[in-house]
C-alpha cells in the first residue's frame, strides 16, 4: 500500500471515530451567581425568564440545564422556594429536559442550605470536590463539607456532576468513590479559564480528560473567551459541552451572547465536524441516569395545597 493511500485511510478512520462517538450532550449554565442583566440584558433571572430561555435552548439542541436561583433583587440565593419556582417553571415549559441544580457557595455557606437543592431530587446536582480561588473569593469546600454533601448525594440517589477546577478535585472524587459515597460511572465537568484556577488551555483539557477513570463521562465549561474554543476541542475529543451566560457573556465576535445563541453555535460546530447531538433521553442513557427518576423533582416542588380552615 502506498504511503498516500495509508494516510488517506488513516484520515478516514479518524473521521469515522467522530461519527462513532457518543452523541454530544449540550449543557447550558443559564444564570450563575455573578452576571447581572446590566452586564448582559439577555441574562435570565426570574423563573419565567429562565423557563423561556430553557425552551429556546431546548429547541436549539440543549438537553441539560445547570440552574441557580436569584432573589427579587437579582442577588444569588439558596432560598429553596426560589429553586422550587425555577424547577416548576422549567418543567412546565420543557418537561423532558434534565435538571442539574447548583450547590455553589456564592449564595450562602450554610451546609444544609447548600444541600437543599439536592434534596429537591433533581436528576443531577453540581458537586465541587475541593477549594480554590475565584475572582474576589476563596471558593471554599472543606473536606468535611465535601463528605457531608457526598452523603446527601448517596442518600438521595441524585447524580452529581463533579466540578473540577483543579486536578486534586479528581483525586478527591475518586477517594469518595472508594469510601462508597459515589458510584461509577462518574461524570466530571472541567471548569477551565476561571481567574484564580486552572487556565483554559487545550493542554489542561487533555490532561484532565486523561486523568479520570475509564468509563467516566466528561464535559467542559470554558470560562470567558475559552468557552467556544474548548467546547470545539471537547466535541472532537469525545467529551461533552457546557455553555451559557454563567460562564461567558460574549459571542466569539465580541457581541453580547444569549444562551440560545451559544447553543446554536455549538450545534453548528458539532454538525460541521460530523458529531450528532443527543436528545434528553439519549443523554440520560449516556450519563447512566435512572429514567425512573426523570420526574421525581416534581413531587418536591409542587405548590403546597391551601390549608383547610378549622
163/277 with CB nearer Zn ion: 163
Residue with cell 470567558: 224
Instruction: From residue 269, give the alpha-carbon distance in Å to each of 101, 228, 231, 232, 244.
Output: 27, 9, 9, 7, 16
* 31 binds Zn ion per the rule CB under 5 A: no
16 half-sphere exposure, CB direction, 13 A CA radius:
6
* Alpha carbon distance 246, 68 (integer Å): 9
Number of residues that bind Zn ion (CB under 5 A): 1
Pick 53 or 275: Cβ nearer Zn ion:
53
280 Cβ contact partners less than 8 Å away, ≥ 6 residues apart: 63, 64, 96, 97, 98
The smaller minimum CB distance to Zn ion, of residues 103 and 172, is found at 103
Stretch touching Zn ion by CB under 5 A, among 99-107, 139-147, 286-294, 299-307: 99-107
- From residue 120, give the alpha-carbon distance in Å to each of 80, 125, 146: 9, 10, 19
Q: Which is nearer to Zn ion, 100 or 209 (CB)?
A: 100
Residue with smaller CB distance to Zn ion, 102 or 219: 102
State the minimum distance, in angstroms, from the CB of residue 177 to Zn ion. Answer: 23
8 Å CB contact between 102 and 163? no
CB of 66 to Zn ion, least distance (A): 5
Please identify which residue in 27, 77, 102, 129 interacts with Zn ion, judged by CB under 5 A. 102
Q: How many CB atoms lie within 10 A of CB 187?
A: 22
Nearest approach in angstroms of CB 245 to Zn ion is: 11
How near is the Cβ of 78 to Zn ion at its closest, in Å? 12
Minimum CB separation from Zn ion for residue 304, in Å?
28
Identity of the residue, 89 or 245, whose beta carbon is nearer to Zn ion in the bound complex: 245
- Residue nearest Zn ion, CB atom distance: 102
- Reduced to 3 states, what is the DSSP secondary structure of residue 75? coil
Cβ(235)–Cβ(218) below 8 Å: no
CA distance 107 to 103: 9
Piece of the chain touching Zn ion by CB under 5 A; list 6-14, 44-52, 98-106, 190-198:
98-106
Radius of gyration of the chain (CA): 19
Cell match 457573556: residue? Answer: 249
Region of 37-45, 70-78, 95-103, 147-155 interacting with Zn ion (CB under 5 A) = 95-103
Least CB distance to Zn ion at residue 107 (A): 10
Candidate segments 9-17, 102-110, 171-179, 275-283, binder of Zn ion by CB under 5 A: 102-110
Q: At its nearest, how many Å lie between Zn ion and the CB of residue 9?
A: 44
Q: Which stretch binds Zn ion (CB under 5 A): 52-60, 94-102, 109-117, 188-196?
A: 94-102
Cα dihedral 65, 35, 219, 268, rounded to 10, equals 80
Residues 6+ apart with CB under 8 A from 105: 114, 139, 140, 141
Of the pair 102, 270, the CB lying nearest Zn ion is at 102
Q: Tell me how far, at minimum, the Cβ of 247 lies from Zn ion, in Å.
A: 8
Kindly state the cell numbers that stand for 306: 391551601
Give contact residues for Zn ion (rule: CB under 5 A). Answer: 102
Amino acid at each position: 500500500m502506498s504511503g498516500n493511500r495509508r494516510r488517506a485511510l488513516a484520515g478516514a478512520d479518524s473521521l469515522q471515530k467522530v461519527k462513532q462517538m457518543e452523541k454530544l450532550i449540550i449543557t447550558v449554565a443559564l444564570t450563575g451567581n455573578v452576571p447581572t442583566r446590566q452586564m448582559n440584558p439577555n441574562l435570565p433571572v426570574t423563573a419565567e425568564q429562565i423557563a423561556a430561555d430553557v425552551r429556546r435552548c431546548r429547541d436549539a439542541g440543549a438537553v441539560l440545564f445547570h440552574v441557580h436561583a436569584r432573589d427579587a433583587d437579582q442577588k444569588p440565593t439558596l432560598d429553596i422556594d426560589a429553586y422550587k419556582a425555577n424547577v416548576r417553571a422549567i418543567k412546565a415549559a420543557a418537561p423532558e429536559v434534565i435538571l442539574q441544580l447548583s450547590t455553589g457557595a456564592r449564595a450562602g455557606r450554610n451546609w444544609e442550605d447548600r444541600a437543599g437543592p439536592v434534596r429537591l431530587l433533581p436528576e443531577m446536582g453540581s458537586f465541587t470536590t475541593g477549594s480554590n480561588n475565584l475572582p474576589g473569593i476563596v471558593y471554599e469546600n472543606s473536606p468535611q463539607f465535601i463528605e457531608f454533601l457526598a452523603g446527601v448525594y448517596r442518600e438521595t440517589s441524585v447524580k452529581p456532576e463533579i466540578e473540577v477546577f483543579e486536578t486534586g478535585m479528581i483525586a478527591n472524587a475518586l477517594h469518595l468513590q472508594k469510601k462508597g459515597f459515589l458510584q461509577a460511572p462518574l461524570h466530571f465537568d472541567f471548569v477551565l479559564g476561571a481567574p484564580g484556577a486552572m487556565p483554559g488551555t487545550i493542554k489542561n483539557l487533555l490532561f484532565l480528560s486523561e486523568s479520570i477513570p475509564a468509563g467516566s463521562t466528561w464535559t467542559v465549561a470554558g470560562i470567558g473567551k475559552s468557552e467556544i474554543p474548548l467546547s470545539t476541542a471537547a466535541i472532537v475529543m469525545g467529551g461533552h459541552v457546557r455553555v451559557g451566560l454563567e460562564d461567558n457573556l460574549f459571542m466569539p465576535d465580541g457581541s453580547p451572547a444569549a444562551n440560545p445563541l451559544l447553543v446554536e453555535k455549538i450545534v453548528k460546530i458539532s454538525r460541521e465536524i460530523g458529531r450528532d447531538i443527543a436528545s434528553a433521553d439519549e443523554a440520560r442513557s449516556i450519563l447512566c441516569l435512572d429514567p425512573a427518576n426523570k420526574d421525581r423533582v416534581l413531587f418536591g416542588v409542587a405548590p403546597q395545597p391551601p390549608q383547610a380552615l378549622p
